[in-house]
Structure formats: C-alpha cells, structure tokens
C-alpha cells in the first residue's frame, strides 16, 4: 500500500473504534441523568399525590406547592446537566490529547518506508480549547448542556401544568413524564432529553476528534499538504457528506466536520503532493479511491470482520448472507479511552508491523 492508502486504512479502522468510544462517553454522561430522573419522578409523584388528596384547586396553598415543585425541577435539571458537562469536558480533554498523539504516530508510521518524519505537537492548551472554547453546531459544550437543562425542565413543567389542567390523575401525569414500561419509557418527555443529550455528546466527541486532528495537521503543514474528506458511505450517509467524499481541501479550508449531529465523516491528513526531505511526491501515492463501508469491510481479514460484526454475522457476511447497506457494529461494545488506545495499537500492528504496536 502507498503512504496515503495506509493512512486511509488506519483512519477507517480508527473511526470504527471511535464509534464505540463515542457511545461509551455518551452513555456515561447520561448515567447520572438516568439516576436523577428516577428520583425526580418519585418526588413529582409524591408532591402530586399530596396535591391531589386536597383536590386540584386554584387555592393559594396548591399554587404555592406547585410553584415550589417547579422550582425544584428547574434546580435539579441545572445541577444534573452541570455535572454531566464537567464529566464530559474532563473526558474529552484527555481524548483530545490522545487523538493528536494517534494522528502524529499514524503519519510517522505510514511515511516511515519513504521518509523519517519529525512531527510537531500542539500544546495541551490548544487541544483543550476544542472542548471549552470552540463551538460546535453553533454552541459551546457548556451551552449545549445548559440548553438541554432548560428545555428538559420546561417539558416537565408543561406536562405537569397540562395534566393538572386536564384533570389527569397522578399516575397519568407521571406516565406522561416518565413514559410507559411497555414502550421501554421511550414515550415520556424525559426520553426526549435523553435522546438529545446522547446525540449531542456523540457529536461533541466527533468535534473534539476533528479539532485535535486539525491542530496536529496545522502544526505540521510542512509535511501534510491537505485534508481528504472521508465519509462513511452507507444508507444513512447524508447527501452532503457523500458528495464531499474523497475531495481534497487545503488545511483548515472548506467544510468542516461534524457537518451535522451524529456525523461520522472525517477529514484525514493527505501527503500526496508533498516533497519531504527530497522524497518525490509519487512515492506517497495518489488520492485513495472512495469506497463504501461494505467494500472496505470485504477487504479486511476474517478476524477484523468478526471483531466488528460479531462472529455469527461475520460468518454470514463472508458467505454472502448479510448485505451491509449501513454501518453495523454487531458487537454492541463500547470503549473507554484506555480500550480505544489498546485497539488502536492493534491497528498499528496490523498495518505497520510489530514494531509499531506501542502507541
């Protein structure tokens, strides 16, 4: 494989493990929210029962209890999402540093047969800025969390007020807020926030990965010529991302990732037209051709296919009984940053050899 092809291959494998890491970060960020939701529902049920026993009237006492309950809801939501922001920010700062390190080593290892490269590294403060100072989809991370808290509190408040106005029982109001067991609580107003928060954290992780890579590339613009857009080509890929796949952009120019919530596209380093230490550009290889997710996976070993799809689906895939029109991770696994580091070291060993394992 050429240098650029190896960078592409390593980047695709890395992006699959990143999907598992993104899921883990989002799940952990929501863990405390789920606990808080259970306590909140219990508190709401208790307060509504006391109000219901006295009758849903417009008395001053009833209004005072309701006002106190609504204030508690707003305070609770603000506290919970503030804690989630603190966890997410701390986790993503560590991830930003790791992602820059991964990109640097990937470029060095890919180019090693052609040229020995000395990669400059961005500072931690530069990398941390992606988490705390650089907005994604129009807002900073902390502002996204603040918005989630406010919207969640408002939805719960609306459900309470409407339920009381309509004469619903406490159980009916609680079901509106929490959802029903029959539907896995997916039909309650609290689940709207869970889904939004999950998507936001996954997108924040993609944003930090992109900015860390961008900072690393900018620090080495004497080595890296540009950035190639790589989209996960499957049935869920947006038309915008698919149309950009394979295109080369000047460093820091052109459309940036993430383009939308849950975006899986990436911009990877491209060394194609560069003269490095007297090395002719042709040795780095042409622009790698676009490939769908299924085409890429069919070119991988059985062990890689099984790792991604699970053994049963991997076997079915090789026998022609499983068509992949969308990204599939049959394992259902989620990775911590430590596990991501381990899996990336496996990528280096597979593509660059045993001497590249320790990342």
Up-side HSE of residue 62: CA atoms within 13 Å toward CB? 14
Written as one string, the DSSP assignment of 177-238 is HH--GGGTTTTSHHHHHHHHHHHHHHHHHHHHHHHHHHHHHHTTTTT--EEEEE---STTS-
State mean pLDDT over 218-247.
84
- Predicted local distance difference test score (pLDDT) of residue 282: 46
Confidence at residue 29, expressed as pLDDT on a 0 to 100 scale: 95
Asked if 160 and 66 count as a contact pair (C-beta separation under 8 A), the reply is: yes
Residue 30: name the closest of 106, 68, 87, 115 by CA: 87
pLDDT of residue 289: 66
- 112 or 11, which is more confident? 11
Whether 235 shows a pLDDT value over 80: the answer reads no
Task: Find tokens 């869920």 and name the residue.
Answer: 236
pLDDT at 328 over 80: no
Mean pLDDT on 247-255: 92
Question: Which of 38-52, 198-212, 256-270, 311-325 has the highest average model confidence (pLDDT)?
Answer: 198-212
Residue 126, exposed/middle/buried by CB under 10 A (0-12, 13-18, 19+)? middle
| Residue 185: pLDDT band with limits 50, 70, 90 | very high
Average pLDDT (107-127) is: 91
The answer to whether the beta carbons of residues 65 and 47 sit under 8 Å apart is: yes
Q: What percent of the chain stands above pLDDT 90?
A: 55
Question: pLDDT of 252-288, one tens digit each?
Answer: 999 999 999 999 899 999 986 544 444 434 456 665 6
Q: Over 90: is that where the pLDDT of 330 sits? A: no
Q: What is the pLDDT of residue 281?
A: 42
At 279 the pLDDT is: 42
| Across 191-213, average pLDDT | 97
Helices (H) and strands (E) in the chain, counts: 11, 3
Average pLDDT, the chain: 86
State the pLDDT at residue 149: 97
Q: What is the pLDDT of residue 345?
A: 86
CB 260 within 8 A of CB 233: no
Q: Over the stretch 273-326, which tens digit does the pLDDT of each residue have?
A: 544 444 434 456 665 666 666 777 788 889 888 887 888 888 888 888 777 655
| Listed residue (319, 311, 200) closest to 261, CA to CA | 200
Q: Which two tokens stand for residue 80?
A: 């919970």
CA distance 279 to 150: 57
- Does 87 or 242 have the greater pLDDT score? 87
Is the sign of the CA dihedral 336, 337, 343, 347 positive or negative?
Answer: positive
Per-residue pLDDT band at 123 (split at 50, 70, 90):
very high
pLDDT at residue 213 greater than cutoff 50: yes
Query: For residue range 148-175, what is the model confidence (pLDDT) as tens digits?
Result: 999 999 999 999 999 988 989 999 999 9
pLDDT on residue 326: 54
193 pLDDT band (50/70/90 cuts)?
Answer: very high
Calculate what percentage of the chain has a pLDDT beyond 70. Answer: 87
pLDDT at 195 over 60: yes
Q: What length does the chain have?
A: 359
**pLDDT at residue 358 tops 70:** no
pLDDT tens for 129-147 read 999 999 999 999 999 999 9
């Amino acid at each position: 494989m050429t240098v650029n092809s190896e960078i592409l291959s390593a980047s695709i494998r890395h992006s699959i493990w990143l999907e598992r890491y993104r899921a883990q970060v989002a799940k952990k960020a929501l863990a405390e929210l789920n606990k808080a939701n259970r306590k909140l529902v219990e508190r709401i049920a208790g307060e509504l029962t006391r109000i219901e026993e006295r009758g849903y009237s417009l008395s001053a006492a009833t209004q005072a209890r309701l006002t106190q309950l609504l204030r508690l809801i707003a305070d609770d939501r603000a506290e919970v999402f503030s804690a989630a922001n603190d966890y997410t920010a701390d986790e993503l700062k560590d991830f930003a540093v790791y992602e820059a390190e991964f990109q640097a080593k990937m470029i060095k290892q890919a180019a090693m047969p052609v040229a020995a490269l000395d990669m400059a590294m961005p500072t931690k403060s530069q990398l941390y800025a992606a988490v705390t100072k650089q907005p994604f989809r129009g807002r900073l991370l902390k502002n996204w969390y603040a918005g989630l808290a406010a919207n969640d509190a408002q939805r719960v408040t609306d459900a309470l007020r409407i339920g009381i106005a309509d004469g619903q029982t406490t159980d009916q109001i609680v079901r509106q807020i929490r959802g029903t067991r029959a539907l896995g609580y997916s039909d309650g107003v609290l689940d709207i926030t869970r889904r939004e928060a999950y998507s936001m954290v996954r997108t924040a992780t993609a944003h930090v990965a992109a900015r860390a890579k961008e900072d690393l590339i900018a620090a080495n613009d004497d080595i890296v010529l540009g950035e190639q857009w790589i989209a996960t080509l499957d049935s869920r890929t947006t038309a915008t991302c698919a149309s950009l796949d394979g295109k080369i952009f000047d460093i820091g120019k052109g459309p940036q990732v993430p383009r939308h919530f849950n975006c899986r596209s990436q911009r990877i380093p491209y060394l194609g037209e560069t003269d490095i230490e007297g090395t002719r550009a042709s040795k780095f290889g042409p622009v790698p051709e676009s490939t769908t997710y299924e085409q890429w996976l069919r070119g991988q070993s059985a062990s890689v296919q099984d790792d991604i799809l699970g053994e049963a689906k991997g076997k079915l895939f090789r026998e022609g009984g499983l068509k992949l029109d969308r990204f599939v991770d049959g394992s259902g696994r989620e990775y911590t940053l430590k596990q991501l580091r381990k899996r990336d070291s496996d990528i280096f060993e597979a593509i660059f050899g045993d001497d590249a394992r320790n990342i």
